[in-house]
Amino acid sequence: MQPSLQARGLTRILPGPVPTTLVEGIDLDFTPGDFAVITGPSGSGKSSLLYLLGLLDPPTGGDVLVEGASTAELDGEQRARVRLERFGFVFQFHFLLPEFTVLENVMLPMRQLGRFHTGDMHARAESLLGALDMLPVAHKRPDALSGGQRQRTAVARALANDPEFLLADEPTGALDTRNAAAVFTILRDLAREGRTVIAVTHDEGLAATADRRIRIVDGRLV
């Protein structure tokens, strides 16, 4: 199968009197349906790699290819557009907007993309929340939810624009064991639907449930 996302010699070194190497020389291929985890010791560069793959940070060397197309020459605005259209992100802390309801939070990326009519956005957000058993709390604000519910809202929001790539940085880091396992099951199911799902995790038990494990030490693949 043709890779959907590729890293080629991916490198990010922060300049300074003593340059800091975050990741160096990473080559990876991902295909639709991949459920991959990135593991490694604290400070090894896991988040840095994920942020590079998600076009959140620019590399200082190498390239990320999306559906075979180089992103090396894109400016900040073009990278943001690719992210909005093709990537969904889930972080350890959900970053939901507290003044909006769950439903409104999920609709926000659709508003940004500007591709959906209001009625369609509403229906789509309800459908995403329904699939994650979140409809009963769709009209609540994030501070009225449990940690697991907030993270499921964050997953629904990440799916708002039907991304090919779902990237998650320690998505279960703030959850208890049961909710953490539930979030991982959701991620696996999303990969089964044909998305490319890549998650950073410290949790060895959860990592063992992924199809593929990418281990990184001192910014390099091992």
Judged by CB under 6 A, which of 14, 69, 123, 208 binds ligand ATP?
Answer: 14
Name residue, tokens 């409104």.
104
User: Considering only 41-49, 68-76, 105-113, 143-151, which stretch makes contact with ligand ATP by CB under 6 A?
Assistant: 41-49
Two structure tokens written together for 54: 């998600």
Q: Is 33 left (phi over 0), alpha (psi -120 to 50) or beta?
A: left
Using CB under 6 A as the binding rule, whether residue 43 contacts ligand ATP is answered as: yes
CB atoms within 10 A of CB 117: 9
Residues contacting 107, CB < 8 A, separation 6+: 121, 122, 125, 160
Give the residue, chosen from 47, 101, 151, 153, that forms a contact with ligand ATP under the rule CB under 6 A.
Answer: 47
Amino acid identity of residue 53, one-letter, is L
Out of 22, 167, 186, 214, the only residue in the binding site for ligand ATP (CB under 6 A) is 22
Nearest CB to ligand ATP, comparing residues 23 and 128: 23
Gap between the Cα atoms of 3 and 23, Å rounded? 21
Per CB under 6 A, does 205 bind ligand ATP?
Answer: no
Least distance CB 183 / ligand ATP (angstroms) = 18
Q: How far is the CB of 204 from ligand ATP (least distance, A)?
A: 13
How far apart (Å, rounded) are the C-alpha atoms in residues 105 and 123?
Answer: 14
The amino acid sitting at 83 is: R
Of 37-45, 61-69, 95-103, 154-162, which segment contacts ligand ATP by CB under 6 A? 37-45
Which of 136, 127, 56 minimizes the C-alpha distance to 89? 56
Q: Is 2 in the site for ligand ATP (CB under 6 A)?
A: no
Q: Which stretch binds ligand ATP (CB under 6 A): 39-47, 93-101, 123-131, 178-186?
A: 39-47
Residue 122 token pair: 């509403």
Task: Considering the complex, state which of residue 11 and residue 101 has its C-beta at the smaller distance from ligand ATP.
Answer: 11
CB of 92 to ligand ATP, least distance (A): 9
